[in-house]
A = this chain, B = another copy of it.
Amino acid sequence: MKKNQNDFLKNLESQIKQSIPGHSVDCVIVGYKNYELQVLMVKQFSTDKWALPGGFIYKDEDLNDAATRVLKERTGVEYSFLEQFYTFGKYKRRDIDQVLDDLRKGKLNSPFTEEWFKQRFISTAFLALVDINQCDIKAGLYSDDCDWKPVSGLAELMFDHNQIVDKAIEKIKKQLDYLPIGKALLPKQFTMNDLQRLYESILQKKLDRGNFQKKILKLDVLIRKEKFYSGGAHKAPYLYEFDDEKYKRLLEEGIAFL
C-alpha cells in the first residue's frame, strides 16, 4: 500500500493536537499458535524496526480506554483480557536522535511533529490475552506491516520494547494463577491436551498428564462437551469449555493451580 506522505503528515499532526503530551500506551497483545506464545508486532512506517502496537492518549480519554482502543484498532477484538502491568518511565528510554532520524526518513519531520516526538515520553504498558483465531489484524496508518511473532527469538525492537515484552511474559509466568490464560488464549472448545500444552509452553517444562488432568478437573470450571473426532487413528478425546461463571469466581480468588 503506497501512502501519501502529505496526507499522512497532516493526519499525524491532527492526532497529536488531540492528544496529551508526554504519555503513551503500549500493548503487549499475546496470542497462542503453533504451541507457542505469540506477540503482535507492527513495523513502524518508513523504518525496518518492529515495535509494540501503541498510541497516544486523547485529551479527554481515560488512560485505560486508550489501550482498549489500540487493541481494537489492531485486532478488531473488543472483549478480551486487558490489564495494565507496568509504567515505563526511565529518563532515557527513547533515543531521541533515532526518533528524529526516523521521522526524517519517513518525511514526517515538520517542526511541529519534531517538537512533539522530542519530548520525554512515559509509557504505560498493557497486557492483552487474545484468541488469535478471533483477531483480524491491521497495520494501521503509522505502520507498514503487522504480524504475530513468537515470543522466543524476538528481534531487536524499537526503544525499550524488548524490555516491555520481557516484563509482560514474566508477569504471565508469575501470575499464571490470576490470569484467564486458558479462557483467553484458546478457542471456545479445546481438548485437555490443548490446555496442557498451553501451560507447558508458558512454564517451559513438561507436565505430568495424569496429574495435570486431575488438578484441572478438581478446579471444577470445565464443562465436558462431545468427543472430538479428528478422523485420526487415536481414541477421540473429549472437548471442553470453560464454565464462565465458575471460572470468573475462581480467578477472583486466585486459582492456586500449579
Which residues of A are in contact with B by a Cβ distance under 8 Å?
20-23, 57, 59-64, 84, 86-91, 120, 122, 124, 174, 178, 254, 256
Chain B residues, Cβ within 8 Å of A84: 86-87
Task: Report the separation of the CA atoms of residues A178 and B175 in the bound assembly, to the nearest whole angstrom.
Answer: 10
**Whole-angstrom distance from the CB of A221 to the nearest CB of chain B?**
19
Interface pair B87/A124, CB less than 8 Å apart: yes
Interface pair B60/A91, CB less than 8 Å apart: yes
Task: Report the separation of the CA atoms of residues A174 and B253 in the bound assembly, to the nearest whole angstrom.
Answer: 8
Classify the secondary structure of A's interface with B: mixed
Interface pair B120/A59, CB less than 8 Å apart: yes
8 Å CB contact of A89 from B59, B62, B174: B62
Can you list 25 contacts pairing A with B, beta carbon distance less than 8 Å? A20-B22, A20-B122, A21-B21, A21-B22, A22-B22, A22-B23, A23-B23, A23-B89, A23-B122, A59-B120, A60-B91, A62-B89, A62-B90, A63-B87, A63-B88, A63-B89, A84-B86, A84-B87, A87-B87, A87-B124, A122-B122, A122-B124, A174-B178, A174-B254, A256-B256
Chain B residues, Cβ within 8 Å of A88: 63
Interface pair A89/B60, CB less than 8 Å apart: no
Chain B residues, Cβ within 8 Å of A120: 20, 59
Interface pair A122/B63, CB less than 8 Å apart: yes
**Whole-angstrom distance from the CB of A175 to the nearest CB of chain B?**
8
